[in-house]
Amino acid sequence: MRLHDFIWGRTCAVVLGIVGAMEISGVFVEETMPDSNESMTATIEECEASRQALPGWNEDNPFFAPSTLPFQAPDFTQIKVEHFLPAFEGGMAEHLQQIEAIANQEAPPTFENTLTAMEMAGATLTRVQRVFFNLTAAHTNPDIQKIQAEVAPRLAAHTDNILLNPKLFARVQVLNEHRADPMFDAEQRRLIKETYERFVRAGALLTPEQQARVREINHTLSSLGTAFDKNLLEITKERSVIVTDRDELAGLTEAQIAAAAELAKQRGHEGQYVLSITNTTRQPVLVSLHNRALRQRVWEASAYRGLGRDGGLDNRPLVLQMARLRAEKAAILGYPNHAAYALEPQMAKQPEAALAMLINMVPDVVEKVHREADDIRALLRADGIEDDVQPWDWEYYAEKVRADRYAIDQAVVKPYLELNNVLHNGVFYTMNKLFGIQFVERHDIPVYHPEVRVFDVLESDGTPIGLFYADYFARDSKRGGAWMNSFVVQSHLLDQRPVIVNVLNVPPPAAGQPALLTFDEAVTMFHEMGHAVHGLFSDVRYPLLAGTSVPRDFVEFPSTFQEDWAIHPQVLRNFARHCETGEVLPQELLERLLEAKTFNQGFDTLEYLSAALLDLAWHSLSVDEIPDDVESFEAQSLHHFGVDLAMVPPRYRTAYFAHVWPGGYSASYYAYMWSEVLAADGFQHVQHSGGLSSVNGDAFRRTVLSRGGSAEPMELYIEFAGRPPQVDALLIRRGLKAKPE
């Protein structure tokens, strides 16, 4: 777990405040403690007096005090690269000083003097890491990467110093033994449970020798993950495809060609063209390029990255080390493998449950893939190509099948998907109809890159909710993919409102041209806004339980739920307008788009299933089972699960699978499908209850989005939908089952 997912805070001055409590089943917790307030005051004064002596402490460092901007948003006019390392050093020292004071106090453990105090500790560290780790993903540079490599293992050790502190754990353990006591409310009981389990899963019950080895493993894993992240960024540039002949780019729009020429110029290849590689195996340009040989070059550049080919960067040694260390750590903690360890706190609970869901879908999905391949094969033959369907053919010919079957040409559709229209008249419009909220752009909040935009998020009556940052365009300093981060998390305890950022990787348009999206990119904007409102609507007291602090296989439910609004007729008509004429997407074309929704779902589903199964295969191994050959194990695993179709490779192959190596989704990539079951069923429930309405939006906000991790996920879902989820809606959503008549 990352440190910033564990503890948030204010300052030493308020960490040790003790409020009245009661006697709990023999544990003496006085309602008044005459001597404790005096001793706590002395300790607080000691903390404040020693604050200036902490490593790296400098009052001019912007991280050593809360930001004075609205909602404590980061002040990027003040933040410099040289501020990060001292802030990390001072923040960790301050945090440990506060934790030691909590752990060593003489007063018996109460909720307030232990868990509340822990929740309020570490303010400086929280501020710096929330800014820093957003930049490592969204706008990095060699200086930031150097700091990341240095602080990552130190942060891992810092987390261990907290979670393996025996005196602190003893206090948490006492509270956990009595968490059913009626003096605790539901959110407090949940916080006790979550905190206790985090300590145990970190190794708090292990012997000192075992804890020492776990510390070593955590230190090494943090360094390996940082190295993997850094490699991926470099590999993206390394594997970019340089084209010298403009004629080879036939099929791309003039705007795409101009953007490729501009990128080539930026990278020192003026007069040529650069096709950059995105994070997944499939590449967007494969839909359009007529030149089969160039399509093959692009696909191979994507699929064979991270394997050290042609002297390039090789991620395979990192993968093997991480797999081996994760398996060893799981064994020390008493689990048969890392998957069993990772899934215990998830909704699935056991890897067998996740595997069963995925494997049960394979036969129907593979059958659908073969039917789709027949259509593609026929077009290959019509073009005089006797070769079998290759992965670099699929998207190109699938688009032709789509255009023929549904008379849809993406070049005709894209002008109706201009980014600002999608954002304002699609995403924001939907959020307003569901939740009554408004997004008002402001230009007085500093940002970390000129392309980033900031919006006030307001209730219908103008009451502020928080801030929303939109960072949508790809750049060399940004890793691939799309995600949501929080600069500030909501907490009533800390009197904090949320500051949320959505990050995408839309190819930037050429100068003076509109930013036109693919339909997938438009859907991704809706998806990430689902994560954003999960953070924005959080309404809990304790930051550990706020917003998206939920199991991996639940966190994608609110985001995937929002995706289907992108194809809702009312929403589509509102945002799909021609970028030049303002003409609404013609009704006939809209109907064809909706009909085509389930097209190519065999391919889409199989490439996802393959990646999710590959993730579980790696993380279901014991230490002795870790292979020596990454590519052979990958091939054997795909064959074992019956998903080794060369024409449909995994969405991510092992050497560039960022989700599961450095990205926090180890053994949990299945979570997207698990969450999609909830999302499809929940969306169907909303359609049966009136569709796009404030009544449905308010219910979703009240029962799911506002609750964060303050209750069991299944309890939240049942409160929302009135029953457990059913899988039929997912099968219909993906075109794997016919809609009922």
The DSSP-derived string for 427-453 is IIHHHHHHH--EEEEES-S--SSTT-E
Active-site residue (options: 372, 399, 528, 563):
528
Do 168 and 162 meet the contact criterion of CB atoms below 8 Å apart?
yes
* 271 phi-psi bin (left φ>0, alpha ψ -120 to 50, beta other): left
Q: What are the structure tokens assigned to 699, written together?
A: 């219910």
Do 279 and 479 meet the contact criterion of CB atoms below 8 Å apart?
yes
Amino acid residing at 548: T
Neighbour tally for 728: CB within 10 Å: 15
Amino acid residing at 352: E
- The residue among 512, 474, 504, 475 whose CA lies nearest residue 254 is 512
Q: Is the dihedral of CA 225, 229, 232, 234 positive or negative?
A: negative
Helical H segments across 30-181, by residue range:
34-50, 81-104, 117-119, 123-138, 142-163, 166-177
Sheet harboring 438-442: ordered strands across? 438-442, 453-458, 464-473, 499-506, 483-488
Q: Where does 382-532 show beta strands of DSSP type E?
A: 438-442, 453-458, 464-473, 483-488, 499-506
- The residue among 473, 470, 471 whose CA lies nearest residue 457 is 470
In terms of C-beta density within 10 A (0-12 exposed, 13-18 middle, 19 or more buried), how is residue 166 classed? exposed
528 is catalytic: yes
Q: Distance between CA 238 and CA 226 in Å, rounded?
A: 18
Helical H segments across 249-315, by residue range:
254-266, 292-303
Q: What are the structure tokens assigned to 681, written together?
A: 């069923």
Q: Distance between CA 607 and CA 225 in Å, rounded?
A: 24
The residues annotated as belonging to the active site are 528
